[in-house]
Amino acid sequence: MENLVARVKAIILTPQTEWQVIEGESGEVSVLFTQYVAILALIPAIAGFIGGVLVGGFMPFGGGLVVAIVTYVFSFVVVYVIALLIDVLAPSFGAQKNFPNALKLSVYSHTPAWLAGIFLIVPGLGFLRILGLYGLYLLWLGLPPLMRAPRDKALLYAGAVVLCAVLLVVVIGALQVAMFLSAPR
């Protein structure tokens, strides 16, 4: 847990130097998912449950639990698919394909969004999740060291990844809505 806190602090406060450290580490899916994603992705899932069921009272317990579980599971899917996108798009921007580094980039760039998920506890503060957009800056900073993207193409590369990620989130959101609307009540 100590390493997790140190990593979160470093990626938020000193991202340029932290990306250099991360670049030298393994990008094993099992390690990144069990020691980082599995813990941080709990923040918005649990906070959303508490805010929707216990504080706001606008969701029934069972529905809130299902939403929390689906949100948590989709966190893993989104991180993995965005890593695939980062890797697939690499040659188009003069970068090197390297899936382990793409996965590290996707995982650690999501840190601010997961942390900002704490604001879901108080329904009126949900707008503060906008602070999670700091992850876009982290993505842009991490592309040159991790994917060997030329600095002059990193912003365009990051933009392409973000555009694809937004489309992915819209599709996943539509699937979630369809799932919940078709569920028996």
- Is residue 100 within 8 Å of 27, Cβ to Cβ? yes
Q: Which residue has the higher pLDDT, 182 or 156?
A: 156
The answer to whether the CB of 151 falls within 8 A of the CB of 103 is no
Q: What does the pLDDT read at residue 145?
A: 97
SS3 state at 25: coil
Q: What pLDDT was estimated at residue 171?
A: 87
Q: What does the pLDDT read at residue 134? A: 96
pLDDT of residue 185: 53
Return d(Cα 5, Cα 185) in angstroms, integer. Answer: 41
More confident residue, 52 or 13: 13
| Pick from 63, 169, 154: nearest CA to 113 | 169
Please write the tens of the pLDDT for every residue from 61-73: 988 898 899 899 9
CA atoms within 13 A on the CB side of 32: 24
Q: Is the pLDDT of residue 129 over 90?
A: no
Residue 124 is predicted with a pLDDT of 86
What pLDDT shows up at residue 127? 85
More confident residue, 72 or 173: 72
pLDDT, tens digit (0-9, with 9 covering 90-100), for 83-128? 999 999 999 999 999 999 999 999 999 999 999 999 999 988 888 8
The count of structural domains within the chain is 1
Looking at residue 138, its pLDDT comes to: 97
The tens digit of pLDDT for each residue in 130-169 reads 999 999 999 999 999 999 999 999 999 999 999 998 998 8
Report helix angle 99-109 to 15-23, nearest 10.
150
Spatial contact of 72 and 39, defined as CB atoms under 8 Å apart: no
Query: Confidence class of residue 180 from pLDDT cuts 50, 70 and 90?
Result: low
State the residue range of the domain holding 160: 2-182
CA 49, 53, 57, 63: dihedral to nearest 10 degrees?
A: 100
| pLDDT (tens digit per residue) in 50-61 | 998 988 878 889
